[in-house]
Amino acid sequence: MEQDSLPTDIILTHPLEHLGQIQLDWTPQPGNYLNLYGKTYAILERHHHYQYRLGGYRLHRISVYVQAAQKPQEKSWVEGRWVIGDANCRLNARSELLRCAVNPTGPCDGCRYFE
């Protein structure tokens, strides 16, 4: 196993289903998107699994919990990270997972609640 590549279990949250295990050369973060078997998934949670070897614990694999999603077209850069939607709107959640409470699926452009 390469040091830069970790086995990653992909688990669908609802209904709970193991979608498979892949090798990733990047660290998945909640709010990132992952393409797997022609579908796009939003990463909701990440869990690390360690194994004791050679006198210490080493990261052995990662599990990510995902849900089916479409990659958002609207993103804003806020405080060093990308958030969904137009961050200039007062109702924007400033989140990688949720756009806003009144129009969570978007788009922000033309939304009657935009403030």
What pTM, to 2 d.p., does this model score?
Answer: 0.70
How confident is the model at residue 1, as a pLDDT? 42
How does pLDDT run along the chain (115 residues), one tens digit per residue? 445 688 999 999 989 999 999 998 888 888 888 889 889 899 999 999 999 988 899 999 999 999 998 877 787 888 877 788 888 888 888 887 788 888 887 788 888 888 7
How confident is the model at residue 51, as a pLDDT? 93
How confident is the model at residue 20, as a pLDDT? 94
CA 72: distance to chain centroid?
12
Q: How is the chain split into domains, by residue range?
A: 6-68, 72-115
CB-based contacts of 60, cutoff 8 Å, min separation 6: 6, 49, 50, 51
